[in-house]
Amino acid sequence: MIKNRAFTLLELVVVIVILGILATLGFTQYSKQVESTRLAEAKVRIGNMRQMATEYYWKNGSLTGIVNADVGATNSCVSTNFYRYEIGTITSDSLRLRATRCTSSGKTPNASRGYEYYLEYHLDTGQSNWHCFYTEGFDPCFGLPGSG
């Protein structure tokens, strides 16, 4: 006698639900990894801004009066960048170089959640500290310290 073996509808639904949960978790982790690789653009650009700020400092003896144009920063989202760049807090010998992730008008795909990635740079000591935080809620991002 031949027995007909088949999956019940309940077993198929359970398998589909489990696969859906695994796919969602995988996509979330994949999205985080892809977004963290986009930080490469910000790191390179901020590195260039730091070099230009250092040149400004040596030329002028102080950072007082430095503006975005002096370091090649564009404080707007454009279709060629994932971030907008600007100079933040400034003292005579330290500054904050910021990259804010575009959530619209930037290079596609735009981020669904905005964050600020920045470098605190102290020219007197040469010390640099990277920070990252989500703009709504100020939660740290990418394993870096949040706003300081």
The residues, ordered by sequence, that sit 6+ positions from 127 with a Cβ below 8 Å of its Cβ are 121
Q: How far apart are CA 138 and CA 145, in angstroms?
A: 10
Identify the band that residue 47 occupies on the pLDDT scale cut at 50, 70 and 90: very high
DSSP string, 28-94: HHHHHHHHHHTHHHHHHHHHHHHHHHHHHHHHHSS-TT--GGGGT---S--TT-SEEEEEEEE-SSE
Summarize pLDDT for 12-27 with one digit per residue, the tens.
888 898 888 888 777 7
Using the Cα atoms of residue 18, residue 21, residue 24 and residue 26 in order, give the sign of their dihedral: negative
Considering its fold, how many domains does the chain have in total?
Answer: 1
Summarize pLDDT for 87-109 with one digit per residue, the tens.
988 888 899 999 999 988 888 88
pLDDT at 148 over 80: no
Instruction: Report pTM.
Output: 0.76
The bridge status of strand 83-90 relative to strand 127-134 is unpaired
Torsion angle of alpha carbons 28, 146, 101, 123, nearest 10°? -140
Count of other CB atoms within 10 angstroms of residue 92: 12
The two structure tokens encoding residue 29: 């982790």
In a domain, 33, yes or no: no
Helix axes 39-60, 9-37, angle to 10 degrees: 20
pLDDT at 70 over 90: yes
In a domain, 140, yes or no: no
In a domain, 148, yes or no: no
Give pLDDT, residue 124: 86
In a domain, 4, yes or no: no
In a domain, 23, yes or no: no
In a domain, 68, yes or no: yes
Q: What is the extent of the structural domain holding 118? A: 40-134
pLDDT at 141 over 60: yes
Is 51 within 8 Å of 70 (Cβ atoms)?
A: no
Give pLDDT, residue 120: 93
The two structure tokens encoding residue 125: 């000591």
